[in-house]
Structure 1
Amino acid sequence: MSSLPEQCCTLPPFKTDYKPVGEIFMIKVEGQDELEIYSTGSSEAKTALVAIFDIFGMHNNTLQGADHLAKSSGYRVVLPDFFRGQSWPVDNIPPKEGRPFLNKWIQSVGSWEKVRPGLLATIEYLKANGVTTIGAYGFCFGAKKLMQGAHENLFKSVALVHPSFFQPEDADNVNVPVALLPSGGEDQAVMNGYWERIQQKPIAKNSIRQDFLDVHHGFASARSNWDDPELAKRARDAYKVMEKFFHDTL
């Protein structure tokens, strides 16, 4: 697996006084502890988006983005806490233990084997509560999780925002439309290689790429800054791209 982008290891998240407007509840996961879910938007919505956060977990900047997307799209948006409250500390970037330690930590607490049961339980919960169509979006580490599960076709379409751990071959098992939103913090050769492979697949006609090369890695999740007019605009731009993509593909 490829490594984290440089900016992921050097740029801390922005602090915020934002108060999330959604609700939190627990669901059961077979073979694991209960999973906390943040849910925002109408509980009556028939379409839902599952969001997978970055290494900072249920950070309020990420939840603010979910609130924004739910309000603008009319979808229900849910964020499962796959880290069970043990996300990477916001005050430990750059990691004092070194980058290899951070990589090892992510592969441990955020392995596909640990994420998959909770992801399946979240999908089952949504379906049991009236949701008929489900898409997903992932930031950083979360985008990689969507690629690791791509062969299972769990979602009707997926958006990948400033991805980490990516490699071009991640495109090979994708069978649903993809929205790729790289920032200026990712390896563009990898992003281009991934996108070239997507273009060779039938899903290409419904897939989109929108570059945000003028902003840093994490600009739409924990490293977003909704108090900065320009950064807030670029975050909203990214969510607008995702909203249109999901409206077109779900």
Structure 2
Amino acid sequence: MSCPDCFAGHINPGTPTGRVTSLHGLDVYVAEPSAPASEVRGIVVIIPDAFGWEFVNNRILADHYAQRGKFRVYLPDFMKGTAAPVWGLDAIRAVMKTGSLLDWITKPYHIATVLYGLVPFIVKNRPGRSYPIVEAFFTALRNSEGAATPVGAAGFCWGGKHTVLLAHGASTVIEGVETPLINAGFTGHPSLLAIPGDIEKLKIPVSFALGELDNNLKAKAIGVVQRAMEGKEGEVKVYVGAGHGFCVRADTAVEDSNRQAAEAEEQAVAFFQKWFAHI
């Protein structure tokens, strides 16, 4: 999670179209499809990357899922106000610049700036502390509007670990019947995974979108994930040339990067539609 790639990327130029409310004890961004309520296919909860629920890219992604999949999409503040600051994107660019003497002279300052923004997020949102918050939200959701509706989790980077943990079979009891908290999961460029242990424990279908050049999940680890997924309900798609964060923070000015981000959206929507149809 301390890899510079976790703090790299670009801010999307769009404007979110959803609304903000309070739901199951958390502030939540809600994106609704432009379709009658009877046509909504299920609920998708986005567990975001380090930049959290207010980051414009994450909200626009929620809007896309809602419209393309006819899902009701929730993007909760699982970090409770402790997300990594968006200005970290500019700071990491400054760290990586090496074109002039000034770039090298100012590099220590920019490194310190990145650490100032990233370290508090890591400490306050380590899985042992954050996963209970995530699980509590999904439990409340499943026991209310999700009781008779398919529920999916879409996790990115930091959120990918939580999606996989939910897919280990987290459940609640509804009218005397043990019911899984999610029916399907999707994760793009997940971080913090225990490989292969976290994959071997999967009991719920999960779709993985992995970047070939992701420094958090290198090629060797991707191969281990692929082998661990053999015989399980789910899929692994590797995006050639893509790095960490490509699903959410792709550079929209770079044609191939933008295309791969769009393809990952399609992968997630199709996977949820497939498994929601079984409910």
TM-score of the superposed pair, with normalisation by structure 1 = 0.82
Q: Which amino acid aligns with 1:179?
A: S
1:231-250 correspondence to structure 2 within 5 Å: 231-250=257-276
After superposition, the Cα gap between the structure-2 partners of 1:156 and 1:103, relative to the gap in structure 1 and judged at 3 Å, is farther
Q: In structure 2, what residue type is equivalent to 1:36?
A: D
Indicate the residue corresponding to 2:6 in structure 1.
8
User: Offset of 1:163 from its aligned partner?
Assistant: 1.1
Change (3 A) 1:40 1:109: same
* 1:119 Cα offset (Å): 3.9
Equivalent positions of 1:169-188 (< 5 A) are 169-183=197-211, 184-185=213-214, 186-188=217-219
1:111 is displaced (CA, Å) by 2.8
**Aligned equivalents of 1:225 and 1:48: distance in 2?**
28
Q: Does residue 1:211 correspond to 2:207, yes or no?
A: no
- Please point out which of 31, 42, 51 is paired with 2:46: 51
Q: Which residue of 2 aligns with 1:154?
A: 181
**Percentage identity across paired residues of the two chains:** 22
Q: Extract unaligned runs of 5+ from structure 2.
A: 93-110, 171-179
Deviates more, 1:75-84 or 1:114-123: 114-123
Alignment partner, residue 114 of structure 1: 130
Secondary structure, aligned partner of 2:29 = strand
Unmatched 5+ stretches in structure 1: 30-34
CA contact (8 A) 2:50 2:121 kept: no
What are the superposed Cα offsets for residues 199-232 of structure 1, whole Å, 9 maximum, x if unpaired?
1x4xx2x3111111322211111x2334554332
- Do the aligned partners of residues 4 and 157 (structure 1) sit closer, same or farther apart at CA in structure 2, a change above 3 Å counting? farther
Q: Which amino acid aligns with 1:8?
A: C
Q: Which has the higher contact order (CA 8 A, sep 6+)?
A: 1
Q: Residues 107, 144 of structure 1: CA spacing in aligned structure 2 closer, same or farther, 3 A cutoff?
A: farther
> Which structure 2 residues correspond to residues 61-100 of structure 1 after superposition, within 5 A?
61-92=57-88, 93-94=91-92, 96=112
Whichever of the two has the greater Rg, that structure is 2
Q: Distance in 2 between matches of 1:83 and 1:40?
A: 19
Residue type of the alignment partner of 2:163: L
Query: What's the RMSD between the two structures over aligned residues?
Result: 2.6
User: For the structure 1 residues 75 and 190, does the alpha-carbon distance in structure 2 shift closer, same or farther, using more than 3 Å as the test?
Assistant: same
TM-score of the superposition, structure 2-length normalised? 0.74
Work out whether 1:136 is the aligned partner of 2:136: no
| Matched residue SS, 1:240 | helix
Structure 1 CA distance for aligned equivalents of residues 142 and 13 of structure 2? 30
The aligned length equals 236
Q: Secondary structure at the residue paired with 1:128?
A: coil
